Amino acid sequence: MNVKLNDTVVVITGKDAGKQGKVIATSPKNNTVTVEGVNLQSKAKKARKANEVSQIVKKEGAIDASNVMVVCTSCGKGVRVKHSLVDGKKVRVCGKCGAVLDKAYAGKKTAEAAQEAPKKRTRKRAAKKEESAEDKAE
């Protein structure tokens, strides 16, 4: 499941197709996600005490994770998720532009981009001390 908590997603199928929202709950075992403002279900709540009022409560229902796409922060579009290595960690990457989708690694470049331009290694040599040369002369 490529969708995580607090991701912004767009619904691609169903009655709420085209709507965007934030993921408020995930269930990897059932492969479902709950998105804010999507798949609203009505439920009648009966008054249990004399001072309570009966009402109809609207609540978000779960939808299948295959029916949503993660929205890339740089593209602004729903994208397929790729995986890449950054600092030895497997992170989610935008399938179109290559931007990192995981917020903890968003500022860092992908490992693929880092490998394209390797740094030149220069060997630093310690300067010889004049004292050691004088000691040898004596």
Q: Is the pLDDT of residue 38 over 90?
A: yes
Structure confidence at residue 107 (pLDDT): 65
Same domain, 42 and 95: no
What's the confidence (pLDDT) of residue 108?
60
DSSP state of 77: S
**130 shares a domain with 111:** yes
Task: List alpha helices for the chain, DSSP H.
Answer: 111-116, 130-137
Which DSSP symbol is given to 98?
A: -
Q: What share of the chain is helix, strand, coil (3-state, %, to 5)?
A: 15, 35, 50
Tens of pLDDT, residue by residue over 47-58, are 999 999 999 999
* Domain boundary residue, one of 13, 39, 71: 71
What was the pLDDT predicted at 103? 77
Model pLDDT for residues 61-90, shown as the tens digit of each residue: 999 999 999 999 888 889 999 999 888 889
Total domains in the fold of the chain: 2
Q: What is the pTM of this model?
A: 0.68
Question: Which residues, in sequence order, are CB contacts of 35 under 8 Å at separation 6+?
Answer: 9, 11, 19, 21, 22, 23, 24, 60, 63, 68
| Contacts with 5 (C-beta within 8 Å, 6 or more apart), sequence order | 23, 24, 25, 26
Last residue of a domain, one of 53, 71, 89: 71
pLDDT of residue 132: 58
User: What is the band of 26 on the pLDDT scale with cuts at 50, 70, 90?
Assistant: very high
For the stretch 94-132, pLDDT in tens is 988 888 988 777 666 544 444 555 566 677 777 666 655
91 and 127 belong to one structural domain: yes
What span, in angstroms and rounded, lies between the C-alpha atoms of 100 and 92?
Answer: 6
Q: Which residues pair with 84 in a beta bridge?
A: 91
Q: What CATH number is given to the structural domain containing 55?
A: 2.30.30.30
Residue 65 sits in the same domain as residue 5: yes
Kindly state whether residues 106 and 65 are assigned to the same domain: no
95 with 113, same domain: the answer is: yes
Predicted pLDDT at 111:
47
Domain coverage including residue 15:
1-71
